[in-house]
């Protein structure tokens, strides 16, 4: 096996996926930045959840809003739903854990808050129930998905934002999601701090 060639293909695939995504995703990312910033300025909060492997990215995004990204600024109100071990513990033994995020949203979510979901696969029951609960609480949803969005896209309302990574491989989708999250952090900071370039 030629490992160097295999590694080169990974880099090339990543670059292609990123460039393919740029034109189609710039506008929805900008829209997401604007609604998150508006919510934060109106004393709203951002609730974030990720399905399976995306839960780490959800926690990281919330931490970057609270602790800062690349610019010095006050903490922003964000919470990763997958980070609260004491809340999740009672559900851990329950095989029907679809309500894992939903219950937290119903307890914490308020009108004007934002739910941001991350899932490379479109049919995660936890994510679908989370979106339903956010709508119950009059929250807007920003959903990061894979190429088609499937069941997730079908649940989104006209005021929600769907940002789909135009890729089919899970690794490429997750790489694009991380880039999108960094764009969100940067854009939010720039709007809040009045940075022009």
Domain ranges of the chain: 3-193
Average pLDDT over residues 4-15: 94
Q: What is the DSSP string of the chain?
A: --HHHHHHHHHHHHHHHHHHHHHHHHHHHHHHHHHHHHHHHTT--EEEEE-GGGHHHHHHHHHHHHH-SSS------EEEGGG-HHHHHHHHT-S--TTTTHHHHHHH--TT-EEEEE-SSTT-HHHHHHHHHHHHTT-EEEEEESSS-HHHHHH--TTSEEEE-S-SSHHHHHHHHHHHHHHHHHHHHHHHHT---
Task: In whole angstroms, give the CA distance from residue 44 to residue 30.
Answer: 19
The confidence score (pLDDT) of residue 94 equals 52
- Check pLDDT > 80 for residue 97: no
- Check pLDDT > 50 for residue 89: no
- Name the β-bridge partners of 162: 143
The confidence score (pLDDT) of residue 8 equals 95
Tokens representing 104? Answer: 């937290």
Tokens representing 9? Answer: 């293909």
Q: What is the pLDDT of residues 136-178, one digit of tens each?
A: 999 999 999 988 788 999 999 999 999 999 888 999 999 999 9
Q: Which numeric CATH code is attached to 3-193?
A: 3.40.50.10490
Q: At what angle do helices 3-41 and 170-193 cross, to 10 degrees?
A: 40
Task: In whole angstroms, give the CA distance from residue 138 to residue 109.
Answer: 9
């Amino acid at each position: 096996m030629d490992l160097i060639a295999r590694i080169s293909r990974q880099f090339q695939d990543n670059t292609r996926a990123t460039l393919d995504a740029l034109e189609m995703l710039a506008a929805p990312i900008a829209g997401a930045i604007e609604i998150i910033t508006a919510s934060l300025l109106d004393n709203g909060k951002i609730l974030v959840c990720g399905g399976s492997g995306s839960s780490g990215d959800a926690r990281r995004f919330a931490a970057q809003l609270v602790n800062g990204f690349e610019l010095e600024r006050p903490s922003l109100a964000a919470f990763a739903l997958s980070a609260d071990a004491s809340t999740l513990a009672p559900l851990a033994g329950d095989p029907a854990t679809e309500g894992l995020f939903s219950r937290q949203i119903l307890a914490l979510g308020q009108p004007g808050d934002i739910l941001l979901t991350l899932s490379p696969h479109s049919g995660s029951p936890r994510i679908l129930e989370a979106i339903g609960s956010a709508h119950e609480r009059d929250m807007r949803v920003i959903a990061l998905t894979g190429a088609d969005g499937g069941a997730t896209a079908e649940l989104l309302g006209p005021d929600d934002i769907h940002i789909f990574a135009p890729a089919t491989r899970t690794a490429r989708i997750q790489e694009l999601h991380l880039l999108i999250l960094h764009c969100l952090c940067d854009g939010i900071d720039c709007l809040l701090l009045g940075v022009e370039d």
